[in-house]
Structure formats: C-alpha cells, structure tokens
Structure 1
Amino acid sequence: MYLIGGTEWLILILGAILLLFGSKKVPELARGLGRAIKEFERGKIEVEEEIRRELLGEGKDYREKLIKLAEKLGIETEGKSEEQILDEILSKMEEERK
C-alpha cells in the first residue's frame, strides 16, 4: 500500500487552491497572506520590545516585575532564576502566538 507523503500533499493542496480560486486570484491571496504574516511579526516584535522596556528600562526591582508578569501568564516562579522565568515568559508568548 502506497502512502502519500508530505510533498504529494502539498502538490494536491496547491492544485485544489488553483481549481478553487483560479490562476489570477492565487497571487493576490499569496500577497495578502504575506502582508498578514509581516504585520503579525511586526506586532510580535513590538510586544516583545515593550515587555523588555517595561522590565529593564525603568531599573526598578526587575525580579518583582518579572514575577508579576509570569504570574499573569500562569507561570510558576518559585525556585527559578530570572533568566529561567524570562525564558518561560517568552516561550508562553510564542505558544499563544500559534
């Protein structure tokens, strides 16, 4: 029995998209998708920079702010270093992005 691999699925999906939308509409869809991805990435970078500014910029009790942010995101902080907490915050943001 032959199973369809990843490349074959991609070809089938692209063919279905061509049939559904036509060859003139596909480039417009791709451009729109590209713009949406670019805008999402720009927003993600802005949020990350804002968090870094909030945590590092003011210079006031960095650990306390880090712990407050982690608690808002539901991250356990007890017994963890600042770096571990920051890594978990960034991981959580990445998960929620998807």
Structure 2
Amino acid sequence: MIIGPQEIVLVFLVVIILFGASKIPELARSIGKATGEYKKARHETENELRDVEKSLKEGHPIEEKSSKIKQMANDLEIVVGDKSDEQLLDEIQKKVKK
C-alpha cells in the first residue's frame, strides 16, 4: 500500500480539524518523545540480549544464565512455562526484532 501526496494532505487536514493548529506542535513533540522512548527501550533490550549471549559463550554458571534469560523473558512479557533457555532466547530475539 503506497500513500501518495493526496492522502498525506488529507491526513494533515483531518489532524488540523480534529486538534486545531495550536495543538499540532504539542502532538508532534509527544510523538517524538514516544518514538525516542521506544528506541531507547529497544536499544537497552538488545544490549541485554547481547550480554546474555556473551555470558552463555563465556561459560558462566548455568543457573545464572538461566535466571538471566528467564528474567529478560519476563521483562518482555513472554510466558516462560516449561520452555528451554534456547526457546526463550529465540522468542526474545523475535520480540526484540519487532
């Protein structure tokens, strides 16, 4: 689906009608802040995932690795259940890429 210039103009007109010209800068700022927070959270999660993968390669105690993986899965609202560490890592990677 490609959005052309006519559709963009229509969207801007609807936004101006709904929010008024004075609210547009405030709306743009809030969208910018939300985007920044999303990027920051994604970056932090990717760093945590790299740290977990690094610790797996370095040979840290298995219990420590498993607890870190499960904690990260819980933070990302992934159901841990009886899944193996490898399954959880796969799901974490898929969630981070989204």
User: Fold match, TM over 0.5?
Assistant: yes
Moved over 3 A (4+): 89-92
Counterparts of 2:90 and 2:47 in 1: how far apart (Å)? Answer: 21
Whether the aligned pair in 1 keeps the contact of 2:45 and 2:96 (CA below 8 Å) is no
Report the TM-score when normalising by structure 1.
0.62
Q: Percent identity?
A: 28
Query: Over residues 29-75 of structure 1, what are the superposed CA-to-partner deviations in whole Å (9 max), with x where a residue is unaligned?
Result: 000000000000000000000010111046128xxx8982x512666
2:97 is the counterpart of 1:94 = yes
TM-score normalised per structure 2: 0.62
Q: Distance in 1 between matches of 2:39 and 2:10?
A: 29
With over 3 angstroms needed to count, the CA separation of the structure-2 counterparts of 1:73 and 1:57, relative to structure 1, is closer
2:41 pairs with 40, 43, 48, which one? 43
Q: Which runs of 5+ in 2 are unaligned?
A: 61-65, 70-83
Q: Could you list the runs of 5+ residues in structure 1 that have no partner in the other structure?
A: 76-88
Q: How many residues align?
A: 75
User: What is the RMSD of the two structures over their aligned residues, measured on CA atoms?
Assistant: 2.8
Higher relative contact order (CA 8 A, sep 6+): 2
Q: What is aligned with 2:87?
A: 71
Query: Displacement, 1:90?
Result: 4.1
Other-structure match for 2:80: none
Q: Is the 8 A contact 1:73 1:92 kept in 2?
A: no
Corresponding residue number in structure 2 for 1:60:
59
Within the candidate set 3, 12, 15, 1:14 is matched to 12
- Whichever residue aligns with residue 7 of structure 2, its letter is W
